[in-house]
Structures are given as C-alpha cells and as structure tokens.
Amino acid sequence: MIIEKNKRTLDAFINGEITIYDILSYDERKAQNRLNAKNHYGISQSMLISLIKKHKKARSKFDLKTLAKIEYRLGDINFHSECVMLHNGDYTDALQIVSQW
C-alpha cells in the first residue's frame, strides 16, 4: 500500500503534477543554497557522478525528498541539462556527459 502510494507520488513528480516546491520546505531549499554557496556554486566531476548514483538509488526507493534535493541543488548551480536527465531517469546519458568533462 505504501509503496503504491509512493510510486503514484513519484509519477506525479515526474509528470510535473507536483514540483520541488511541493516536496521541499523553504528551510530545506535554503540548506541546499547554503551548500552550493559553500562550494562556490560549483561541483566536481566525482561529486556529480556521486549525485547521479544517489539520485538513481533514491528513485528506485521512491525517495522524493532526496530526488528533489538533488534536482534543486543542480538547478541552483545552473546544471539544468543534467537535472532534466536525472528527472527523466536518463542516468546513462548523464554519466556519459559527465565522463566527457
């Protein structure tokens, strides 16, 4: 029952019926902003690879908080293409692009 509800919520997130702003509180978004500021609004190749793998694992567990935090963080530092790939579940493409840095 819980898994089915989480799957429906994940589908709603993927389809744009709910957004990051519906999932993350203001304080959670500000925490991601502070993390990005601490890292000078940049990210290393190894950190992005780690976030891609973490996003994939969270998706398999229907962990919307983790998905939203990663996508918000990447959007905040203008990694919009990578963010869209993760949102759509295109992990192979995302890893391929990152490996070409």
Q: What is the pLDDT of residue 10?
A: 85
3-state secondary structure of 79: coil
Q: What is the pLDDT of residue 3?
A: 67
Q: How does the average pLDDT of the chain come out, rounded?
A: 92
Q: Between 64-76 and 80-88, two packed helices, what is the crossing angle to 10 degrees?
A: 160
pLDDT tens digits, 2-50: 667 778 888 888 888 999 999 999 999 999 999 999 999 999 999 999 9
Give 79's contacts (C-beta < 8 A, 6+ positions apart). 43, 48
Going through 1-101 in order, the beta strands assigned E by DSSP cover none
Q: What is the pLDDT of residue 38?
A: 95
Q: What is the pLDDT of residue 76?
A: 95
Residue 64 CB-density burial (10 A; 0-12 exposed, 13-18 middle, 19+ buried): buried
